[in-house]
């Protein structure tokens, strides 16, 4: 079965994180994962957008190091890499989540 590539936390750059979070759809995905506090399938993250569009957004979030996607059977399970990102860039992701929650 195909494995999905993810950057190590050492490869994650702040500019990539900020770029990924600058899109409202990607920010909404991050917010859903943060609020859930668990892995979510792609089907559980239904934003009424085409599958190809959602795949593109997940690819950018993975490349930025914000989301980890694991394949379990036929499901793609997505989780927020909050602890890892916060260990490298303390306060950044939590601040974005807190600010977006207030909006």
Query: Domains along the chain?
Result: 9-102 (1.10.10.10)
Angstrom distance (rounded) from CA 103 to CA 93:
16
pLDDT band at 102 (very low <50, low <70, confident <90, very high): confident
Helix axes 92-102, 14-21, angle to 10 degrees: 10
pTM for the complete prediction? 0.91
pLDDT in tens, 35-77: 999 999 988 998 989 888 999 999 999 999 999 999 988 889 9
């Amino acid at each position: 079965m195909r494995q999905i590539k993810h950057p190590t936390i050492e490869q994650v750059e702040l500019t990539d994180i900020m770029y990924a979070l600058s899109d409202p759809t990607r920010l909404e995905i991050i917010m859903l994962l943060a609020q859930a506090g668990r892995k979510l399938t792609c089907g559980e993250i239904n934003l009424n957008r085409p599958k190809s569009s959602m795949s593109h957004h997940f690819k950018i979030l993975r490349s930025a190091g914000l989301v980890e996607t694991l394949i379990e059977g036929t499901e793609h399970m997505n989780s927020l890499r909050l602890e890892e990102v916060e260990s490298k860039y303390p306060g950044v992701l939590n601040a974005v989540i807190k600010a977006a929650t207030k909006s």
